[in-house]
Amino acid sequence: MPVLPSWLTESLWGQFAALLPERPVYHPDHPLGCHRPRISDRIVFDKLLQLLRFGCSYEAIADTTCSATTIRSRRDEWIRLGVFARLRRIALESYDRIVGLVLDRIAVDGAITKAPGGGEVAGRSPVDRGKQGLKRSCMTDGYGIPLGRVLAGANRHDSPLLAPTLDRLDHLGPLPDSMTVHLDAGYDSDTTRDLLSARGLHGRIAHRGKKAPIQASQRWHVERTHAWQNAFYRIARCYERHATVIDAFFDLADTIFTVRSLMRRAWTTHGWDERPNRRP
């Protein structure tokens, strides 16, 4: 079984390959020109998808086609080139152009996951007996498409992470004149309301001590996005120690969500050569 359906991986790889610089199979400076050839970028890309989905170690996913060292080095090379971030941005722009982002209502929420290896953005988890954990403050549009995130230690409160999370809106271009931010009771404070007012945003915040079903507002979209992200075990149980690597895996996961939603929603209105026979 493939880690992802072929109609999705082929689309991802086509755009990903277009962002990569050209590399010769053999290094031109080699005196004999007959040393070991460069491992195909497609093989490494498929290995990264497997790592993201299954969450296993690099050594466990390596085989005769590609070593763990090659996966790590190629991953770091692509991070330095900014390929993962550019891929996510292209997917988001394509979704906005074809389907349209629902930016008049957005949702922000934090989620805590395990980080057994610690690292640059890990901290003591208040919900896991003080073990190392990772918090992500995620922002989505009105349909649940991820717009941006902020990574922090699990011991950080959601409220101080709201401002840097909303800063991700600056990269989306023109915004609607009126925008509503849906938040849970963890953001119920005058500080949050002043922050939203200063940015010209309307806030719909759940009140502390008052039980309300999540369906009572639009917050369930961001909760669903957290569930999508936790389906990728590299994110749900993070062993990476460097924030740049964690961001790269999140960018790859967000791209998958965005492209999958784009193809699902455009399936009934658009046609293309690799269009799946059945609606995704």
Tens of pLDDT, residue by residue over 108-143, are 999 999 999 888 999 999 988 989 999 999 999 999
* pLDDT, mean over the chain: 90
Q: Is pLDDT above 90 for 198?
A: yes
Tens of pLDDT, residue by residue over 50-108, are 999 999 999 999 999 999 999 999 999 999 999 999 999 999 999 999 999 999 999 99
The CA distance from 269 to 142, in Å, is 20
pLDDT bucket at 280, cuts 50 / 70 / 90:
confident
Task: Give mean pLDDT, residues 178-188.
Answer: 91
**DSSP three-state, residue 94:** helix
Backbone φ and ψ of 54, nearest 5°? -95, -20
Write down the pLDDT at residue 75: 96
Q: Is pLDDT above 60 for 1?
A: no
Q: Is pLDDT above 70 for 32?
A: no
Tens of pLDDT, residue by residue over 206-225, are 888 777 665 557 888 999 99
**DSSP three-state, residue 61:** helix
pLDDT bucket at 29, cuts 50 / 70 / 90:
low
The CA distance from 136 to 52, in Å, is 17
Write down the pLDDT at residue 268: 87
CA dihedral 19, 94, 227, 55 (to 10 degrees): -10
Q: Is pLDDT above 60 for 18?
A: yes
Tens of pLDDT, residue by residue over 218-272, are 888 999 999 999 999 999 999 999 999 999 999 999 999 999 999 999 888 888 8
**DSSP three-state, residue 212:** coil
**Helix axes 41-54 and 68-81, enclosed angle (nearest 10):** 100
Write down the pLDDT at residue 213: 65
Q: Is pLDDT above 90 for 162?
A: yes
Q: Is pLDDT above 70 for 28?
A: no
Task: Give mean pLDDT, residues 22-49.
Answer: 79
Q: Is pLDDT above 80 for 188?
A: yes
CB of 262 closer than 8 Å to CB of 145: no
Write down the pLDDT at residue 143: 92
Write down the pLDDT at residue 27: 66
